[in-house]
Protein backbone atom coordinates (compact mmCIF):
# COMPACT_ATOMS: atom_id res chain seq x y z
CA UNK A 1 0.00 0.00 0.00
CA UNK A 2 2.85 2.40 0.86
CA UNK A 3 4.45 1.68 -2.49
CA UNK A 4 1.24 2.57 -4.35
CA UNK A 5 0.95 5.87 -2.44
CA UNK A 6 4.58 6.61 -3.17
CA UNK A 7 4.15 5.94 -6.90
CA UNK A 8 1.00 8.07 -7.04
CA UNK A 9 2.77 10.91 -5.22
CA UNK A 10 5.68 10.73 -7.65
CA UNK A 11 3.30 10.74 -10.61
CA UNK A 12 1.47 13.81 -9.31
CA UNK A 13 4.73 15.66 -8.62
CA UNK A 14 6.07 14.76 -12.05
CA UNK A 15 2.87 15.94 -13.74
CA UNK A 16 2.94 19.20 -11.79
CA UNK A 17 6.54 19.85 -12.74
CA UNK A 18 5.73 19.23 -16.40
CA UNK A 19 2.91 21.76 -16.28
CA UNK A 20 5.24 24.38 -14.79
CA UNK A 21 7.97 23.58 -17.31
CA UNK A 22 5.52 23.93 -20.17
CA UNK A 23 4.48 27.38 -18.96
CA UNK A 24 8.03 28.73 -18.88
CA UNK A 25 9.18 30.56 -21.99
CA UNK A 26 12.72 29.83 -23.10
CA UNK A 27 15.00 32.31 -24.84
CA UNK A 28 18.11 32.04 -26.97
CA UNK A 29 19.99 34.81 -25.22
CA UNK A 30 22.51 37.11 -26.82
CA UNK A 31 25.19 35.58 -29.00
CA UNK A 32 28.51 35.80 -27.19
CA UNK A 33 31.62 34.84 -29.14
CA UNK A 34 34.57 36.52 -27.44
CA UNK A 35 35.80 37.15 -23.93
CA UNK A 36 35.31 40.88 -24.48
CA UNK A 37 31.67 40.33 -25.49
CA UNK A 38 31.17 38.06 -22.48
CA UNK A 39 32.45 40.72 -20.09
CA UNK A 40 30.25 43.37 -21.69
CA UNK A 41 27.15 41.14 -21.42
CA UNK A 42 27.89 40.37 -17.77
CA UNK A 43 28.49 44.02 -16.93
CA UNK A 44 25.23 45.03 -18.59
CA UNK A 45 23.05 42.34 -17.07
CA UNK A 46 24.75 42.29 -13.66
CA UNK A 47 23.90 45.95 -13.16
CA UNK A 48 20.31 45.31 -14.23
CA UNK A 49 20.11 42.32 -11.90
CA UNK A 50 21.49 44.35 -9.00
CA UNK A 51 18.85 47.01 -9.59
CA UNK A 52 16.06 44.43 -9.67
CA UNK A 53 17.29 42.71 -6.51
CA UNK A 54 17.34 45.99 -4.58
CA UNK A 55 13.56 46.10 -4.71
CA UNK A 56 11.84 45.15 -1.48
CA UNK A 57 9.78 42.60 -3.36
CA UNK A 58 10.26 40.99 -6.76
CA UNK A 59 7.22 41.21 -9.01
CA UNK A 60 6.29 38.66 -11.68
CA UNK A 61 7.58 40.98 -14.42
CA UNK A 62 10.89 41.24 -12.53
CA UNK A 63 11.14 37.46 -12.45
CA UNK A 64 10.40 37.32 -16.18
CA UNK A 65 13.15 39.87 -16.85
CA UNK A 66 15.60 37.94 -14.66
CA UNK A 67 14.68 34.71 -16.42
CA UNK A 68 15.29 36.27 -19.82
CA UNK A 69 18.59 37.89 -18.78
CA UNK A 70 20.03 34.66 -17.41
CA UNK A 71 20.14 33.12 -20.88
CA UNK A 72 22.59 35.77 -22.07
CA UNK A 73 24.52 35.61 -18.80
CA UNK A 74 24.87 31.83 -19.16
CA UNK A 75 26.14 32.29 -22.73
CA UNK A 76 28.73 34.75 -21.46
CA UNK A 77 29.90 32.44 -18.68
CA UNK A 78 30.30 29.57 -21.15
CA UNK A 79 32.71 31.70 -23.18
CA UNK A 80 34.68 32.65 -20.06
CA UNK A 81 34.74 29.03 -18.93
CA UNK A 82 36.12 27.96 -22.31
CA UNK A 83 38.74 30.70 -22.22
CA UNK A 84 39.80 29.73 -18.71
CA UNK A 85 40.00 26.06 -19.69
CA UNK A 86 42.35 26.93 -22.57
CA UNK A 87 44.44 29.11 -20.28
CA UNK A 88 44.58 26.32 -17.70
CA UNK A 89 45.69 23.80 -20.37
CA UNK A 90 48.43 26.18 -21.50
CA UNK A 91 49.63 26.53 -17.91
CA UNK A 92 49.65 22.75 -17.51
CA UNK A 93 51.70 22.40 -20.71
CA UNK A 94 54.11 25.02 -19.37
CA UNK A 95 54.37 23.06 -16.13
CA UNK A 96 55.07 19.80 -17.96
CA UNK A 97 57.57 21.50 -20.27
CA UNK A 98 59.44 22.84 -17.26
CA UNK A 99 59.60 19.35 -15.72
CA UNK A 100 60.95 17.88 -18.96
CA UNK A 101 63.36 20.75 -19.59
CA UNK A 102 61.67 21.44 -22.95
CA UNK A 103 62.80 25.03 -23.31
CA UNK A 104 61.18 25.75 -26.68
CA UNK A 105 57.80 24.41 -25.58
CA UNK A 106 58.06 26.30 -22.30
CA UNK A 107 58.50 29.56 -24.22
CA UNK A 108 55.48 28.85 -26.43
CA UNK A 109 53.14 27.67 -23.67
CA UNK A 110 54.40 30.31 -21.27
CA UNK A 111 53.49 33.06 -23.71
CA UNK A 112 50.12 31.48 -24.51
CA UNK A 113 49.38 31.31 -20.79
CA UNK A 114 50.43 34.93 -20.22
CA UNK A 115 48.33 36.10 -23.17
CA UNK A 116 45.30 34.22 -21.86
CA UNK A 117 45.58 35.21 -18.22
CA UNK A 118 46.41 38.86 -18.93
CA UNK A 119 42.76 39.57 -19.61
CA UNK A 120 41.94 38.72 -16.01
CA UNK A 121 44.99 40.18 -14.31
CA UNK A 122 45.16 43.52 -16.14
CA UNK A 123 41.57 44.59 -15.51
Task: Spell out the domain ranges in the chain.
Answer: 34-121
The predicted structure's pLDDT at residue 54: 97
The predicted structure's pLDDT at residue 99: 98
The predicted structure's pLDDT at residue 23: 62
Q: DSSP string covering the chain, please?
A: -HHHHHHHHHHHHHHHHHHHHHHS---------SHHHHHHHHHHHHHHHHHHHTSSS--HHHHHHHHHHHHHHHHHHHHHHHHHHHHHHHHHHHHHHHHHT-HHHHHHHHHHHHHHHHHHH--
Q: Show the low-confidence residues of the chain (pLDDT under 70).
A: 1-24, 123
The predicted structure's pLDDT at residue 27: 84
The predicted structure's pLDDT at residue 14: 55
The predicted structure's pLDDT at residue 26: 82
Amino acid sequence: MKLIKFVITLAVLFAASQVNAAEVRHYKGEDVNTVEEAIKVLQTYNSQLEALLKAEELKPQDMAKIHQMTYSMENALKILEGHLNITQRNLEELHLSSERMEMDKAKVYGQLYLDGVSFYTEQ
